[in-house]
Amino acid sequence: MVAAIEAAGGRALAIQADAGDPAAVRAAVARTVEAFGGLDILVNNAGIALGGPIGEITFEDYQRMIAVNVTGVFVATQEAARHMQAGGRIVHIGSSMTRYAAFPGASLYTLTKGAVAGFNRSLVRDLGPRGITVNTVHPGPTDTDMNPDGGPVSKIVGPGMAIGRYGKAEEVASVVAYLASPEASFVTGADLVADGGFTA
C-alpha cells in the first residue's frame, strides 16, 4: 500500500501497532506527527470480535475486547486531538449490531461498539468549538477477514440484506472518505449506517 501511494506521488508511512496497547497507540500517533508535521484525520477502524453465549465469555476475552475496541479508540482519539487544528476529522467505525442484534453470541462485541457510539456523541461537544468533527460509521455485514462473505455468519444474516449481498470494504471506505472531506464540514455527531438496508 505504501508503495502504491508513493508511486502515485503521495507520501505514506506504515506503522504496526497493537490497538489494545495504549503505549503503542501513543507511539504510533507521535511517529505520524513527527513524519508529517501534524495530523488532520483519524479513522478508528481497528477492531476484533470475540464472543459466544454470555455465560461462556471469559474475562480475558472481555478485557481484550475492551482494550482494542474501546480503550484503543479513546487513546488514539485523545492523542490525535492534541495535534489537530480546525478542520480536523475523527471517524470511528461502529457496527449496525448496535441497532439490530441479528444473532446470539455477539453481546460483548455489541457492548464495545455501543461504547464507541456513546463516546462519539459526547465528544462533539469537546471538539466542536475547535472546528474538529467527530462521526461514526456503522457498517452492516461486510466482506472482511473477520466476517467473510460465505462464512458462518453470512448464512444467518445474508437473507436479511435488503440489497441481497454483503457489503464491500471499499463501500464503507467511501462513506469514511466523505466524512473526512471538506464537504462534510457541517456533519458532526452523526451515526451513518452503511449496511445495505440490513437494519431498515
Q: Residue 193 carries which side chain, given as an amino acid letter?
A: V
Q: State the CATH number of the domain containing residue 69.
A: 3.40.50.720
pLDDT in tens, 51-69: 889 999 999 999 999 999 9
At 154, the pLDDT band (50, 70, 90 cuts) reads confident
Higher pLDDT, 155 or 165: 165
Q: How many domains does the chain have?
A: 1
| Interatomic CA distance for residues 79 and 22, integer angstroms | 10
Residue 18 belongs to some domain of the structure:
no
Query: Is 109 a residue of the active site?
Result: yes
* Active-site entry in 62, 109, 166, 178: 109
The mean of the pLDDT values for the chain is 94
Segment 106-126 mean pLDDT: 95
Range of the domain at 69: 39-194
Given this model, what pLDDT does residue 131 score? 97
Residue 21 belongs to some domain of the structure:
no
Given this model, what pLDDT does residue 137 score? 98
Segment 35-44 mean pLDDT: 96
Listed in order, strand segments (DSSP E) in 15-156 are: 41-44, 89-93, 133-139
Residue 30 belongs to some domain of the structure:
no
Q: Residue 27 carries which side chain, given as an amino acid letter?
A: A
At 37, the pLDDT band (50, 70, 90 cuts) reads very high
DSSP 55-90: GG--HHHHHHHHIIIIIHHHHHHHHHHTT--TT-EE
Q: Give just the sign of the alpha carbon dihedral 110, 112, 118, 120.
A: negative
